[in-house]
Structure 1
């Protein structure tokens, strides 16, 4: 009798998504407690300023003085707690399965590069000078784009309040993406950040995520085969 040996699967530890979650939350708390101006002063110091990076000379100056790093630092700042909460929720929904598939380091690279690209898209698209672009929405858009490219027909499990009970249900990923888009639309027309949602950042991040997933799809497939012991 031949007894087949089941390939050994490596235990997967997810660390990038929790790290980003904690970093976003901690950055918001620190900015809020900062005296005297709090989040507004922090946004001016670390957010992405519009009106620049539109010429070779501007890029040369930004690289020389290090202000180009604002494309990354601006990802960790948020206008208010609703802005932060929306990004944290969808970071968990799409970040955990995406990291499980592509690995922590590739996932972290997607978040940072996708977020920086989305901020750059916002800077180039917004004509008014001296405005500040902040928030992780563009990076989350990159995660959503990558997830949709990798799993176009996926269904995600979510916990919904149904009557007096919490019910675990599986819903198509595209429905959650639609909910995320509606949430961002609501931020654009209500609350302290009225009219301040940088839609070019969302679009740029989403497109970056799709392209990133397609370009790295073969490497992701090899990683999955190694993790399963094949």
Structure 2
């Protein structure tokens, strides 16, 4: 369990983070109610399928009608299983709340949606012939983690470690935990047992995009903090 160690004046409510968590959970529960064949169909319809997305043989009118590029966004909100969902949401909450406080809700939503969509696009380009969908908010969460690191490079987080029958509370540099997160991303490059597309570059791209977005917005954040 992690605890954010930052005590400042009363922060504004982080409704954008909660909204994203709620949408992901609602989408997961909706898909879970479908039979196995229905779940597979929905993952294919709403996920980013590289071979379909990058198929330039179809006329643009058909591509627009099929909302192919919209699936770069819809894929962010669907997950293959509970482990996939809870891992992404855990890191979204840990790093999303302080990042949203720094950026504001509007910038944070842009970071999540645009950063995640671009990360999915880059992931699709590296898997151009794959017919399995890239799904989940890993690329968007990677953007949030990258932005957090850029905004709080010296931050420390509280980590509760189980030591026998006791719990030990220790302070750990956020950069160390982000390194641990990167290892987890490698483990979760498979989006479910039946969908084995490796999305490693989606995570890397999202992380780097998050850093770029945060650095680009830093002057605006500083002006906002002085108000």
Normalising by the smaller structure, the TM-score range is 0.7 to 0.9
Q: How far is the alpha carbon of 1:170 from its aligned partner?
A: 2.5
Following TM superposition, the consecutive aligned residue runs of length 4 or more in structure 1 with deviations greater than 6 angstroms are: 55-59
Q: How far is the alpha carbon of 1:164 from its aligned partner?
A: 2.6
Contact 2:54 2:128 in 1 (8 A): no
Tell me, which stretches of 5 or more residues in structure 1 are unaligned?
1-8
Larger Rg belongs to:
1
Q: 1:190 to 1:13 in 2, by over 3 A?
A: closer
Q: TM-score, normalised by structure 2?
A: 0.86
Tell me, which stretches of 5 or more residues in structure 2 are unaligned?
1-8
Instruction: Specify the SS of the correspondent of 1:223.
Output: helix
| Distance in 2 separating the partners of 1:71 and 1:122 | 10
Instruction: Specify the SS of the correspondent of 1:134.
Output: coil
What residue in structure 1 maps to residue 5 of structure 2? Answer: none
What residue in structure 1 maps to residue 100 of structure 2? Answer: 99
Q: For the aligned residues, what is the CA RMSD?
A: 2.4
Q: Deviations over 1:128-183 (max 9, x none)?
A: 23221101000010001111111111112343333334444321111111111121
How many residue pairs get aligned? The number is 218
Q: TM-score, normalised by structure 1?
A: 0.85
Instruction: Specify the SS of the correspondent of 1:216.
Output: helix
Q: Deviations over 1:75-107 (max 9, x none)?
A: 011121111111011001100110111111111
| Distance in 1 separating the partners of 2:67 and 2:38 | 23
Q: Verify: 1:51 aligned to 2:51, yes or no.
A: yes
Report 1:87-166 matches (<5 A).
87-166=88-167
